[in-house]
Amino acid sequence: MPVQRLNHAVLYVRDVARSVAFYGEALGFRQIGGFPGASFLQAPGSTNDHDLALFEVGAAAGPSPAGRTSVGLYHLAWEVDTLEELERISTRLAGLGALTGASDHSTTKAIYARDPDGLEFEVCWIVPAEFLDEDILAARTTIGRLDLAKEKERFGARTRGGVGVSTPAAAG
């Protein structure tokens, strides 16, 4: 059987309480368990046991050199159901000073942010398979500026995203 999707991610953080508060405020994650130095969080609407685990390594931990001087994880990408939700989260992340950018990847519309430890993550909306046309598919390898107002007009602010589907073959 092939892998279906990512079930959860585990991050090393300097301060678990600070990270729990951030992911709760920024993305609505709720703590569902843990023990000293560790916390398990669940995303709103998730049926996973947990979506994010956080393990504390302490305030003296240095920044991750991944992508600069070592190999390592670049970022995680969380999906949202609608462009309206993507815009709401974008506004919230901007208010927290965490928003770092936004991109149009043709089949996905994405915003980027950093958590309190500088770990990058993405929040994205996936174009539903029924909207995928030759122009969208041909532009998959390009990265453009995200214009959320234009995308909401084009696809609808409350249109449910493709939920893991970004190619016509995957939708069938």
Residue 171: predicted pLDDT: 44
pLDDT for residue 1 is more than 80? no
pLDDT tens across 26-85, in order?
A: 999 999 999 999 999 999 989 999 999 999 999 999 998 999 999 998 999 999 999 999
Residue 166: predicted pLDDT: 56
pLDDT tens across 107-150, in order?
A: 999 999 999 999 999 999 999 989 988 898 888 889 999 999 99
**Homologous superfamily (CATH) for 7-57:** 2,3-Dihydroxybiphenyl 1,2-Dioxygenase, domain 1 (3.10.180.10)
User: What dotted CATH number matches 74-172?
Assistant: 3.30.720.110
Q: Kindly report the pTM of this predicted structure.
A: 0.90
CATH 3.30.720.110 domain position(s) in the chain: 74-172
Strands 144-145 and 99-104: antiparallel
